[in-house]
Chain A
Amino acid sequence: MTYSQRRTLGQTATYILLVLGAVLTVFPFLWMIATAFKPSTDIYSLALIPKAPTLANFAKLFDHAPFATWFMNSVVVAGLTTVSVAFFDSLVGYILAKVEFKGRNIIFFAILSSIMIPTEMLIIPWYVGATKVGITDTYLGIMFPGLMTAFGVFLMRQFMEAIPNDLLDAGRIDGLGEFGIWWRVAMPNVRPALAALGILTFLGSWNAFLWPVIAIDSPAMWTLPVGLSYFSYENFNQYELVMAGATMAVIPVLVIFAIFQKQIIKGITLTGIK
């Protein structure tokens, strides 16, 4: 077999594997969407194409609920959170990776240790604090616990560490300040990681439930997951509505991912490392 034949064979095998995996991966998702279009009495059927497709579930959502408002609230909260996380986490990650000073490791571990306690245990102290400073029922109140994340600091630190020091020194010689070196030299080098962090943060915030449900008092401030929780009641979920809501909620994230995933690839070609 020639090299190119082997290559073609390898490519074909790769595609076959990927397609098989993708089918397994996507099936439950398709089923969720199908269920969103089924009447409540049909949700048990395994059919991927609803026998009698209906928009009633979506209509019910819009009927009973200011769905557009929830949507906007979620966009604002997840958007601002993502910007904040991308900025602060990469700054802290950079410093912890590239600036040497006493106490650096202690700081890193202190920050990392903050993801070791489950949210369930923190919501009461958070709520007490948020009430005290008067931010419950505001966007800030919903967002504040997630404005910086230890996960992001850790992720960015790992990737910042891989940047060659020569590159940073070159920036220094060009007369950039410390902030400039981080922003203009280091940041472009970690675009793939930054894109990943952005997507994951947006998602985390988009789907966050436990804290928002505690922090929000008025229906006008509900985010999507909080609003949708009002459709389950006493040992019983109105699954067709949950599915319709989940389907609606997934679309914007899917669009964002489809756009951003290119960044993960593109990032590298724009950077100094080749």
Chain B
Amino acid sequence: MAKRVAAGIMAVAVMSGVLAGCGSKTTTPSGGSTNAGGKVTIEYWQYSYTSKTDLMKQLITEFQDKNPDITVKTADFPYEQYNEKVAAAVSAGKGPDVINLYYGWLPKYVDSGFLQPLPEDAFPPATIEKEFFPLVKAAKMDGKYYVLPTAVRTLALLYNKDLFKAAGIAEPPKTWDELVATSKALTKRDASGKLEQVGFYFNAGGQGHNWFREVLVRQTGGQPLSADNKQVLWNSPQGLQAFQWWVDLQKVHKVGEIGFMTDDVTAFKAGKAAMDVDGSFRLGNLLDAKFDFASAPLPLGPNGQPYTMASFWANGLTKKATGAQKDASVKFMKFLTQPDVMERWTKAIGELPARPEVAAKFKDDPKLKGFIDGLAYANATFFTDETKDRDAITNAVDSVLVGGKDYKTALDEGQKSAQALFDDYWTKRK
């Protein structure tokens, strides 16, 4: 461990030595420190947007009041540039004690030795598995938990109740077939064929690829990945069936179109998309929508089983946290995963609680209902390279829609590029 840190410091020193064109001075990592009075300062890095930052500020103040010997220093990074900022800071020898990160990046953060496993005495795996929704298993690597979420997200069907009422449709669709029929009834074109309202927002980017990979493929009885996470299986015959049904929403049924009004959120918010598959994190953006809307569980497929995709941002301990900092960081993380904090989080931000006991309190909220419902059966996808994994699927869809390829060729090509990502990842891990 000490060796690794020393090597890290050396690497940084050598690099910055080259950079400044002078001899090497040792860089000391900034951040956490302990002074004689037993006061500990820990550093926390988070990505931020307004409602989240505001709540975190309150929470940290409360935590510090309860633990007068601990000071939490935060650094906020914008969502889009999160990776850049972390990489730059880490290269420069800076680092937090506790970091907020997307679960899909976990393999990278663990493999590069940036994170340490959560101490088992403070967070016993058995307790985690008993008290949290099963989807947190995505935070487990090589049998150890590395991060824990305060809040999680699932996918559900958002639908515009006003548009449904106007068309005389009482209920959101419960099956694939109903989705197609309802979408058709809600799609509007003018005389020249210009699309004026989509019944369903068809989109391969956004959440579309997640819906396909994690939900549609399973609904036909397929599997997105092999059990050991090494093989990409979504081009199986079942996967192909799901893919064709999905792409046909635009290609055959013409109930939606990629790029209509630039993106699904804008179209839905403008009242020009009657339905959209989206995540619970979107609710915050829809607060000022001028129509009534609700969420429903994703429509069931051929096998009649419910599925949805889960994802989350979670907090983890970095290797930098040792001794008193580590103890303080553990306390901070315990505080952030308490049931009452989760409840406040859901109320303030709209993300879902990670504990069933808290989630139960929101079961009747019409906006949250569809999302909460999914928590019990949600799966979190294992990503080796989230962006490229998405691109593999969006390219497959584009290949059919504008690239002139047939479903099977397009899907196989997509699988091939996704498989390459997994092969690359597992080879490096040995």
Contacts and interface: CB of A to CB of B under 8 A. Distances in A.
A and B touch in the complex (CB under 8 A): yes
Nearest to A235: B206
A105 interface: no
Given A214-B81, A229-B81, A236-B285, A41 B49 contact: no
Interface in B254-312: 261, 263, 265-267, 269-272, 281-282, 285, 288-290
* Residue of A44, A123, A235 with most chain B CB atoms under a 10 A cut-off: A235
Interface size for chain A: under 10, 10 to 19, 20 to 34, or 35 or more residues? 20 to 34
A138 to B, nearest CB: 15
A246 interface: no
B20 A230 contact: no
Contacts, number: 91
Given A131-B93, A234-B281, A214 B266 contact: no
Contacts of A234: 79, 281
Contacts of A229: 78, 80-81
A128 B12 CA distance: 8
Interface in B71-97: 75-76, 78-81, 84-85, 87-89, 91-94
A59 to B, nearest CB: 13
Interface in A11-32: none
Given A128-B19, A132-B19, A214-B84, A44 B78 contact: no
Nearest to A230: B78
Contacts of B205: 235
Q: Interface of chain A, helix or strand or loop or mixed?
A: helix
A236 to B, nearest CB: 5
Given A233-B79, A234-B281, A127 B92 contact: yes
B270 A214 contact: no
Given A43-B266, A44-B266, A235-B265, A131 B84 contact: no
A87 B285 CA distance: 47
Contact of B75 (A217, A235, A238): A217
22 contacts: A40-B288, A41-B270, A41-B288, A41-B289, A124-B91, A127-B92, A128-B12, A128-B19, A128-B91, A130-B92, A213-B78, A213-B84, A217-B75, A229-B81, A230-B48, A230-B78, A231-B49, A232-B78, A232-B79, A233-B49, A235-B205, A236-B265
A129 B17 CA distance: 8
Q: Interface of chain B, helix or strand or loop or mixed?
A: mixed
* Residue of B88, B89, B267, B270 with most chain A CB atoms under a 10 A cut-off: B88
A259 interface: no
Contact of B272 (A40, A44, A133, A210): A44
Interface string B23-50: 0010100000000000000000000111
A38 B282 CA distance: 21
Contacts of A210: 81, 84
Nearest to A227: B78
Given A232-B79, A236-B265, A124 B87 contact: yes
B282 to A, nearest CB: 7
B16 interface: yes
Contacts of B206: 235
B348 interface: no
A210 B49 CA distance: 18
Nearest to A226: B78
A231 B284 CA distance: 12
Interface residues of B, number: 42
A189 B126 CA distance: 79
Q: Shortest 3 CB-CB distances between A and B: which pairs? A: A131-B92, A127-B88, A129-B19
A233 B52 CA distance: 11
Contact of A214 (B76, B85, B267, B285): B85
B285 A213 contact: no
Nearest to A131: B92
B55 interface: no
Interface string A126-142: 01111111001000000
Contacts of A102: none
B92 A44 contact: no
A41 B92 contact: no
B15 interface: yes
Contact of A131 (B27, B79, B87, B267): B27
A89 to B, nearest CB: 22
A214 B282 CA distance: 27
B118 to A, nearest CB: 26
A108 B204 CA distance: 48
Given A41-B270, A44-B266, A64-B50, A213 B19 contact: no
Nearest to A215: B88
B15 A125 contact: yes
A236 B284 CA distance: 11
Interface string B83-124: 011011101111000000000000000000000000000000
B353 to A, nearest CB: 19
Contact of B19 (A43, A44, A125): A125
Contacts of A42: 270
A128 B80 contact: no
Nearest to A136: B92
Interface string B325-352: 0000000000000000000000000000
